Amino acid sequence: METPAQSQGTGQTMNGQIANGQAAPAAGGSAGAGSPGGGDYGIALPIAPPDSAPVAPLPSTPTFPTPTLPTPSLPSPDYPMFPNVPGVSSFSETRFLVAAANSFPVRLSVDSSVYDTNARFGTVTGRGFVSDGFHTVTVRRADDLRAILFQKSFPFRAGEKTTLIVIDSGQGGMDVTQVSDTGCRSLPAGSGCYRVANMSYDGSVYNVTLPGSGVIFRGVAYNTVTSFKQAMCGSYLFDVTGVACCASPREISVIASAAAGSGAVSPNPLLSVSVEIQSGKSYTTYLIGNSWSEYSLRAVTLEA
Q: For the domain that residue 301 is a member of, what is the CATH number?
A: 2.60.40
3-state secondary structure 196-213: EEECCCCCCEEEEEECCC
Q: What number is the average pLDDT over the span 194-217? A: 94
Same domain, 163 and 207: no
Q: In this structure, is residue 2 part of a structural domain? A: no
Q: What is the pLDDT of residue 197?
A: 98
Q: In this structure, is residue 228 part of a structural domain? A: yes
Q: Are 33 and 47 in contact (CB under 8 A)?
A: no
pLDDT digits (tens, 9 = 90+) for 98-154: 999 999 999 999 999 999 999 999 999 999 999 999 999 999 999 999 999 999 999
The CA distances from residue 283 to 21, 64, 67, in Å, are 114, 64, 57
For the stretch 47-50, contacts whose Cβ atoms lie closer than 8 Å and that sit 24 or more positions apart, written own/partner, are: none
- Least confident range of 4-8, 132-136, 174-178, 254-258: 4-8
CA distance linking residue 44 with residue 172, whole number of Å? 109
Element (H, E) at 235: strand 234-241
Q: In this structure, is residue 12 part of a structural domain? A: no
CATH number of the domain that 159 lies in? 2.60.40.1110
Same domain, 98 and 160: yes
Same domain, 134 and 202: no
Same domain, 206 and 269: yes
Same domain, 190 and 295: yes
239 lies in which domain range?
183-304
CA distance linking residue 119 with residue 125, whole number of Å? 8
Q: In this structure, is residue 73 part of a structural domain? A: no
For the chain, percent of residues with pLDDT exceeding 90: 56
- Domain tally, the chain: 2
Q: In this structure, is residue 49 part of a structural domain? A: no
pTM of the full structure: 0.69
pLDDT digits (tens, 9 = 90+) for 227-269: 999 999 999 999 999 988 776 678 899 999 754 444 555 668 9
